[in-house]
Amino acid sequence: MTNPPPDALLTLTDVNTFYGQAQVHFDLSISVPRGHIVCLLGGNASGKSTTMKIILGLVKPRSGEVTFDGASLLGLTTPQIVRRGIASVPEARRLFADMSVRENILMGAFVRNDREAIAQDLDKMLTLFPKLGQRLSQRAGSLSGGEQQMVAMARALMSRPRMIVMDEPTMGLSPLYVDRVLELIRTINQEGVSVFMVEQNASLALEIAHEAYVLQTGKIVLSGSARALKDDPRIRDAYLGGSEAA
């Protein structure tokens, strides 16, 4: 048992997760300090997306504890967790393909009822993501991958979250969009939103993260400040090991 630091916004403590018989997480412990960007690195099938699902309550662990702002999330349903202030950018974006871009972004504000403020926030999103302005009435499914990523991020921000969890936000994007997305994550963070992101691309993620964890077949094998990890020779090894195991 490691005690989470007192300023942690989100903590996972000794989490063990199973799909049927197969164990995916082994005593997983992660903490996201308030105002930080924390990155979870790992190869394919190491259990990264499952960690996201645990945080969001889409999958429940067999044992362990998950807290947000000091209160346990384990007894809550996904919508309840979202209402506590956690927004998500899911793996492969998962937009509502047959709804318009405007409707997608506004779906992000589903938990809010302040109509005027929502309208203002929508305008704010259009300044943050200027390209979306011309696409508002287009079907979300018809956008390019990079544009979809922008919509997914705008959608997440619309709930005015205290924390955003993102699953591989740069996956499948061209280098230009990757830079843009990383820049945006930093901007979002500077506005006070804590970020927990899952990534396969360590060098990219360590650019912007404060802390990072390395997950290998369900176990944390390495963790520390991003600066320290960037120079750690083991990070490459852990990586390659993770991908080979997949």
Partner 1 sequence: MSSWLDYTINGLIVGNVYALVAVGLALIFGVSRLINFAQGSIYLVGAYIGWVAVVQLHTPLPLTIIVVAVAAALVGLIIERFGLRPLQNSVRIAPLLATIGISFVLDQLVMLTFSPNPRALPSQLPDIRFQIGGGTIGPLDLLIAGVGLTSALLLFVFLRYSKLGWAVRATAQDRDAAMQMGVDVNRVNQAVFGIAAALGGVSGLLVGMYYNQIDTAMSLQATLKGVVAEVVGGAGNVPGAVIGSLLLGLVESYGVAVFGTSYRNLFAFLLLVVVLVLRPNGLFASARQAPPEPLTGTFIAPSRPVRIPRWALLIATAVFAILPLLPVSFYVLQTLINAWLLGMLALSLTLVAGTIGQVSLGHAALLAIGAYTSALLSLTFAVPVGLAIIGGGLMSAALGTALISPSFRLRGHYVSIATLAIGEIVSLVILNWESVTRGPIGISGIPPLSLFGYELVSPISIYWFSFIVMVVLALLQGRLLGSHLGRSFRAIRDDDIAARAYGLSLNRYKSLAFIFGGFAAGVSGGIAAHLYSYINHETFNTQQSILALTVVILGGLGNVVGAILGAVALVGLPEVFRIAAEYRILIYGIVLLLLVRFRPQGLLGTM
Ligand X SMILES: Nc1ncnc2c1ncn2[C@@H]1O[C@H](COP(=O)(O)OP(=O)(O)OP(=O)(O)O)[C@@H](O)[C@H]1O
Contact residues toward ligand X (CB under 6 A) are 19, 24, 42, 44-50, 200
CB neighbour class for 244 (10 Å; exposed up to 12, middle 13-18, buried from 19): exposed
Instruction: Compute CA 16 distance to the chain's CA centroid, rounded to the nearest angstrom.
Output: 20
Examine residue 157 and tell whether it contacts partner 1 (CB under 8 A).
no
- β-partners of residue 19 are 22
Using the rule CB under 8 A, which residue among 74, 76, 99, 126 binds partner 1?
99
The answer to whether residues 105 and 87 touch, using CB atoms and an 8 Å cutoff, is no
For residue 7, give Cα distances in angstroms to 1, 34, 150, 169, 208. Answer: 17, 6, 30, 26, 20
Least distance from Mg ion to the Cβ atom of residue 66, Å: 18
Question: What's the closest the beta carbon of residue 30 comes to Mg ion, in angstroms?
Answer: 16
Smallest separation (angstroms) from ligand X to the CB of 76: 20
Helix (H) or strand (E) holding 185: helix 175-190
Cβ proximity to ligand X, 28 vs 157, nearer residue: 28
Residue 167's nearest CA partner among 12, 31, 40 is: 40
Q: Find the binding residues for Mg ion in span 62-91 (CB under 5 A).
A: 91
Which of ligand X, Mg ion, partner 1, none does residue 44 bind (CB under 5 to 8 Å by kind)?
Answer: ligand X
Report the nearest approach of partner 1 to the CB of residue 22 (Å): 14
How far apart are alpha carbons 169 and 16 in whole angstroms?
25
Least distance between ligand X and beta carbon 70 (Å): 26
Question: Segment near partner 1 (CB under 8 A), from 62-70, 105-113, 122-130, 212-220?
Answer: 105-113
Q: Which residues pair with 33 in a beta bridge?
A: 8
* The residue type at 215: L
Q: Please identify, using beta-carbon distances, which residue of 138 and 243 lies nearer to ligand X.
A: 243
Distance in angstroms (rounded) separating the CA atoms of residues 37 and 196: 6
Beta carbon of residue 3, minimum distance to Mg ion (angstroms, whole number): 29
Q: How many CB atoms lie within 10 A of CB 119?
A: 12
172 sits near partner 1 (criterion: CB under 8 A): no
DSSP state for residue 100 in the 8-state scheme: B
Contact partner, 76, from ligand X, partner 1, Mg ion, none, Cβ < 5-8 Å per class = none
Of 54 and 202, CB closest to partner 1: 54
Chain residues binding partner 1 by CB under 8 A are: 56, 58, 77-79, 82-83, 87-88, 90, 94-99, 103, 106-108, 110-111, 141, 155, 159
